[in-house]
Amino acid sequence: MTTKLFGEPVRRREDARLITGRGRYLDDLGAGALAAAFVRSPHAHARVLDVDVEAALDVEGLVAIYTYEDLSGPMAEPLPVLIPHPQLHAPRTGYPLANGVVNHVGEPVVMVVATDRYVAEDAAERIVVTYEELPVVVGVDAAREARAWVHEDVPDNVAARHHQETGDVEPALAAAPHTLSFTQYIERSACTPLEGKGVLARWDADDGSLRVHSSTQASTSVRAAIAAKLELSLDRVEVIAPDVGGGFGVKIVHPWPEELLVPMAAIRLGREVKWAEDRREHFVSSAHERQQRQEITVGYDDDGRVTALDVHVWHDNGAYTPYGIIVPIVTATQLVGPYVIPVYRVVVESVYTNTVIVTPYRGAGRPQGCYAMERTMDRIADALGLDRADVRRRNLITPDQFPYDHHLTFQDGRPVIYDSGDYPGLLDKLVALVGWDEAEALRADARARGKLLGVGMALYVEGTGPGPYEGGHVQVLGSGKVLVSTGLTSQGQGHETVFAQIVASELGVPIDDVEVHTGDTRRFGYAVGTFASRAAVMSGNAVALAARGVREKAIRIAAEVLEANPEDLEIDEGLVKVKGTPGASVPLRTVAVLSNPLRYAFDEAARQATQFAGPGDDSKPPVAPGDAPGLEHRDYYSPIRSTFASGAHAAVVEIDPRTWEIDVVRYAVVHDCGNVVNPMIVEGQVHGGVAQGVGGALYERMAYDADGQLQNASFMDFLMPYASEVPDVVIDHQETPSPLNPLGIKGAGEAGVIPGTAAIASAIEDATGRRIASMPISPTELYDLMRDETAERTAASQETGVPA
């Protein structure tokens, strides 16, 4: 077939508009709409004593001011606990606008609506809010000490205790030939997409309907949330995700206060209202992630094989828990990675702090789990004097062990059963790709240049494509155009291209005939959202199934027209053909016309389908029982459980012992996401993920002071990598198809970021001989560590040339 596009590096169909300035991002829409701005808390923890709007009332162009007092019905209740969990025993959420108490800097207190954003901010800065400051909790350790409480009815600051075990860990540890116990930390970073959040709402008073555009990863659920909170019937609300300028997780959370307040104002004012988040707002009011304290005890034998693992994770969830405990559950369950862990116990305590909420950021708890497991492997290797790659190899699940059941329960409530993979294969490829066995020569070369060089590696397994489901709709029009829609949203992953490739391949049509729509509830009302590396797996399979349905119907109709057996027909380049009989064919667009019996001929194509056009069989109804007019099909893909992608990364770092600058000079990736739909796009995802991994390991951190003020809430101070900070990445692929879905694919979106922190920590430790137990690490921190006489040295510690 000439139309086989699955697996090809097809150039992206979304690019034509995006490179010419014709993209339609949230703030590009709604010209002339009123603008909203917010008065946000300057305090991390305070009582709101008074809101005085008097001075703002004279601002010309002011339209409305809303405080908590102006909210009613469900809007006056706390925001939803979006993902409840039995072990989230003390869930707490904020209000759309603060109700008496603020729990982090940036929490919205007042909404101002005015003729434009400048005027809205003029008014906002004239509003005087009087606060009574309360004691502040910042960081996991302060939360544990519980000298102050974030929520006065949660006196230990613990929101959830999550616990899983696969055996009796204490006797297993007691019986282990060797044990190691250690504590390590990882700090906060954040998604920081270049486009912040944003909402545009238009109320049609005559129709009683609301149309909302939101820069979201979950338009169907934003729709449901708006309908519930504003007490509208679901059919009166439509939500569209337009072009979205990056998400990485932060836009999966919903409803954000602004997603409810902006539509509320649009309804009350009968005017179009828009809010586009600015950069500082994004830092202090959108979500962060990663921060954990990890206490690990591991038992292992003389060969370095793990016999038991006991992990206690203290997870900082910020001020509220709207997204439940998804992130720490992912940490707890993905921690075991590609390894056989005979007995495993994990306890997560998720604690409140007076900081921005913690919800998934690309990787969503996996980077922390990988950091825990991979640093454990490094410590075992160090303790036994073994090569780090060898210790890993001895612990790997082998290809003959699939499906492999870890006897854990994943974030979707389903068992952690790995479907397929070849982890020794990954490790072998990585060792070759990065030149692991030649590291000593590299070290010597660096030493000669006055530099310290180290190599590190990290492996991961990533549960991708969790359910419950996604759907797809495929329709062939009489023009020959093939419309594809799925409810799941896009934030730059190339879904318009990938889904078009799948449908073109399945249906047998030129890709140029295919038009894909995502994230628009007017086109597809049932969807879950874009997160957990699930779009290709879920919507990819759903549109494939929908295309197969269309194909089956097209062949059935064409078989009648061509007076042929359906088994003898194929579809190629948009033509339904009798195999091996040149000339015996009918265009798919004609089949589409014929599929819809008509009374009225409004154009030449329609004339072919009218009631007097053909012979017809007057003994049968024009539309057979069980059939439907039109060449279209809707289908859903709902997996029994997640599919598990995997990979292995290695970093080579060079450190300048005068400045302690850390330079990642080589970064190698071996990646396995099953069958690849578009290798160009998958590599792009890996590149972007690695950049975020390097950023998270060396540059990015949310620097809160003890008062809960975010000290680096701008791109001046939060060090998101420029091109100069991102190493060249070499990539090798392995493809172990998933047996769980029709296309054999696994997710690829988050993979690149997961092992970065672990691999780079390992490489720095290798270069310096100092134990690295807190990440990210800056040159200053490394300098302090090197000068600290009490700092732990690795057993493999080499002569590093550290100045005395």
Partner 1 sequence: MTSVDASRTDSERTVRVTVNGVPREATVPVRRVLADALRDDLGLTGTHVGCAHGVCGSCTVLVDGDPVRSCLVLAVQVDGAEVTTVEGLAREDHQGGQVLHPVQEAFRECHALQCGFCTPGFLVTIAAGLEARDRSAEITEEEVDELVGGNLCRCTGYANIKKAVRHAAATMRDAQ
Footprint on this chain of partner 1 (rule: CB under 8 A): 11-12, 14-16, 18-25, 27-28, 31, 55, 58-61, 115-116, 118-119, 122, 126, 191-195, 243-246, 248, 278-279, 491-494, 680-681, 683-684, 687-692, 714-716, 720, 722-724, 726, 728-729, 752
Under 8 Å between Cβ of 733 and 746: no
Q: How far is the CB of 318 from partner 1 (least distance, A)?
A: 21
Nearer to partner 1, 14 or 387 (CB): 14
Looking at the Cβ atoms of 161 and 687, the one nearer to partner 1 is 687
User: Shortest distance, CB of residue 688 to partner 1, whole angstroms?
Assistant: 5
Q: Which is nearer to partner 1, 245 or 363 (CB)?
A: 245
Residue (361 or 404) nearer to partner 1, CB: 361
Tell the smallest beta-carbon distance from residue 724 to partner 1 (Å): 6
Residue 722 CB, nearest distance to partner 1 (Å)? 6
As measured in angstroms, the least distance from the Cβ of 667 to partner 1 is: 10
**Which two three-digit tokens encode residue 29?**
């829409």
CB 248 to partner 1: min, Å: 7
376-391 exposure pattern, b = at least 16 Cβ within 10 A, e = fewer: bbbbbbbbbebbbbeb
Task: Identify the sign of the CA torsion 155, 158, 164, 167.
Answer: negative
Q: What element of type H or E holds 66?
A: strand 62-66
Cβ distance to partner 1 smaller for residue 508 or 647: 647
CA atoms within 13 A on the CB side of 525: 7
**Residues in a beta bridge with 280:** none
Phi (first) and psi of residue 126, to 5 degrees: -95, -5
Of 19 and 441, CB closest to partner 1: 19
Kindly state the helix (H) or strand (E) to which residue 452 belongs, with its residue range. Answer: strand 452-464
Q: Give the gyration radius of the chain's Cα atoms.
A: 28
Are 288 and 355 within 8 A, CB to CB?
yes
How far is Cα 337 from Cα 316, in angstroms, rounded to an integer? 22
The smaller minimum CB distance to partner 1, of residues 124 and 230, is found at 124
Nearest to 286 by CA among 263, 262, 259, 261: 259
Minimum CB–partner distance for residue 31 and partner 1 (Å): 7
Q: Specify the residue, 57 or 628, whose C-beta has the smaller distance to partner 1.
A: 57
- Two tokens, residue 759: 């691999």
CB of 100 to partner 1, least distance (A): 29
**Which string of DSSP letters, residue by residue, matches 658-722?**
TT--EEEEEEEEEEE-BS-S-HHHHHHHHHHHHHHHHHHHHT----B-TTS-BTT-STTTS----
Which residues are CB-neighbours of 242 under 8 A, at least 6 positions away? 24, 25, 26, 28, 29, 213, 215
Query: Pairing between strand 470-476 and 774-775?
Result: unpaired
C-beta of 398: minimal distance to partner 1 in Å?
Answer: 32
Residue that the structure tokens 């012979």 belong to: 615
Closer to partner 1 at the Cβ: 127 or 408? Answer: 127
Distance CA 608, CA 589 (A): 12
- What minimum distance in Å lies between the beta carbon of 29 and partner 1? 9
CB 469 within 8 A of CB 638: yes
Helix (H) or strand (E) holding 390: helix 388-395
Smallest distance from partner 1 to CB 203, Å: 22
Q: Which is nearer to partner 1, 350 or 692 (CB)?
A: 692
The type of residue at 197 is K
Nearer to partner 1, 602 or 722 (CB): 722
Residue 588, φ and ψ in degrees, nearest 5:
-60, -35
Q: Which H helix or E strand runs over 471?
A: strand 470-476
Which one, 249 or 304, has the nearer CB to partner 1?
249
Minimum gap (Å) between residue 198 Cβ and partner 1 = 11
Q: How far is the CB of 287 from partner 1 (least distance, A)?
A: 15
Q: Which is nearer to partner 1, 126 or 223 (CB)?
A: 126
Please enumerate in sequence order all residues whose Cβ is within 8 A of that of 533, keeping only pairs 6 or more positions apart, or say none: 462, 464, 465, 645, 746, 747, 748, 749, 750, 751
